[in-house]
Structure 1
Amino acid sequence: MRLWDWAVGAYGRPGVADACLNLQDAHGQNTCLLLWAVWAGATPHTAAPAAELARAWDAAAVTPLRDVRRALKSSFPPVADEERERLRNAVKAAELQSERLLLEALERLCPQSSGAAPLDALVAASAAWGAPAPQPALAALAAALQ
């Protein structure tokens, strides 16, 4: 199964979105990298180049779009709310497309699963991303993905 299709299905499972958003917002992790890690069975060896790719794309596309989307959440008089919300939805679609492009690039980087356990893969990706997330937060995502 392609990574994008797997990630969309996985993200819709109970608890996965909450665990991903917690890791992203509270611990500075990259959701796409974490989902790729589980899908690919990441190891420290495969996680390092994936994190480098994700870090560069995140800085160039994902984070700037997310910041704009979040900034457009509140009213901005005299801009009409319906027009602001229309723009926010367009930015949201672009943000989602940027995440899809990242997942597709990560899939090309490592198209085969090593079979690593989900928690081990998450630990490897989290460490490669930067300051590792707390083990309980990673374990919560691993449990939700099973």
Structure 2
Amino acid sequence: MRRAEVDAAESWAFALAIYARPGIAEACLALQNAADVDVMLMLMATFVAVKRRLLLTADEIKALDNACAPWREQVVHKLRALRTDLKTGPRPAPSETTEPFRSRIKAIELDAEKLENQLLAECLPQRPGQESIGMEQLRSVLNAVVVHFADKRGTTLDARLSPLVDTIAEAAMEPI
């Protein structure tokens, strides 16, 4: 099995496991909503830092974003928008009869995110990791991801987002 395939499988399992921890989904979604952070890229940066001891640089974060942006924007975002729109309409949604349909779209959205994860794994830098990483190094990388997306949006890093990054970093440093 190629390294990218292993990274894709392991990083997907890591993403699902960490996302299921208390407070992580809320932190990821808050970062997504407040700063347009790509949650899959954030979780991949977390994975490679914690499991591969590879601290992504700002240029590497940008390269990963550039690699997956077309898929994210043309597929993942459209599926998410459709699923979200069905919470409020149009008629006959929302209803008991349209909820199974919305659930299927949610499952397809998750499949699209898995494909994005695979794309990210294929584009990871192939350099050796460090001997170990600490909490501050992980926070620094995760903050760099948030800064990248804030810059793309034309905004500055909102200090209120730091506790969200801390929540993810703290959870990631615990055994998964």
**Is the TM-score greater than 0.5?**
yes
Q: Does 1:128 align with 2:130?
A: no
Q: Which residue of 1 aligns with 2:100?
A: 86
Q: Which residue of 1 aligns with 2:129?
A: 114
RMSD of aligned alpha carbons: 2.3
Letter in 1 for 2:129: S
Name stretches of at least 5 consecutive residues in structure 1 with no aligned partner.
Answer: none
Report % sequence identity: 28
Given that 2:83 and 2:102 are in contact with CA atoms closer than 8 Å, whether structure 1 keeps it comes out as yes
Q: Deviations over 1:24-58 (max 9, x none)?
A: 11222111110011112322232111111232221
Given that 1:11 and 1:17 are in contact with CA atoms closer than 8 Å, whether structure 2 keeps it comes out as yes
What count of residue pairs does the alignment treat as equivalent? Answer: 146
CA distance in 1, matches of 2:125, 2:19: 20
TM-score where L is the length of structure 2: 0.72
Show the 5 A alignment for 1:24-103: 24-41=32-49, 42-74=56-88, 76-78=90-92, 81-103=95-117
TM-score where L is the length of structure 1: 0.85
Q: Which residue of 2 aligns with 1:142?
A: 169
Q: Structure 1: which 4+ aligned runs deviate by more than 6 Å?
A: none
Offset at 1:75?
5.2
Offset at 1:145?
2.6
CA distance in 2, matches of 1:36, 1:145: 11
Given that 2:27 and 2:167 are in contact with CA atoms closer than 8 Å, whether structure 1 keeps it comes out as yes
